[in-house]
Chains A and B, each alone.
Chain A
Amino acid sequence: AQKVTQAQTEISVVEKEDVTLDCVYETRDTTYYLFWYKQPPSGELVFLIRRNSFDEQNEISGRYSWNFQKSTSSFNFTITASQVVDSAVYFCALGSNYQLIWGAGTKLIIKP
């Protein structure tokens, strides 16, 4: 079975704190893709990153970084020096045979 688990339903931090959103996935495929999407209060789903299963290099984009570890089937997302504008629901997803399998999402609240 293929599954994505985001165990953190909601996280609340004060602005400028670092925060890590966890994502654990299950798949039997040897080739697969992992994604993070952001859903701000306006409702649209905004693409953040894609990783394929053969590329375990960590990635950094500004204040955002992602840690992909196949050994633990995890693809965690860290925001450094969080800002109020980072407040949103963040979804982790597994790409399998074109369809995306989604985690339940983590609601991130950044307080000023």
Chain B
Amino acid sequence: DAKTTQPPSMDCAEGRAANLPCNHSTISGNEYVYWYRQIHSQGPQYIIHGLKNNETNEMASLIITEDRKSSTLILPHATLRDTAVYYCIVRAYSGGGADGLTFGKGTHLIIQP
């Protein structure tokens, strides 16, 4: 699987846009970029995913660079409830090996009042 690099922590003021970067410079052509978040004591929550086009849903926007080596998750109007660990994951199919998603350590986003 392609490795991802995220800052360990970030702060953002409530009401502002939170922009979470992710580097995945070794991504290959058939791998999707997924974003999940985990609020303390809960299961990971799916946010959004994409291949090469920018994506938007009711939770967030995903901006993927043209060379696909990095992406940014945007929470347009952060609230205190968005405080969580955010995981950027590149998903690959390994054929006969382990399936699923490989989680790294993510970015701890803290929304400040």
Is this pair of chains taken from one and the same complex? no
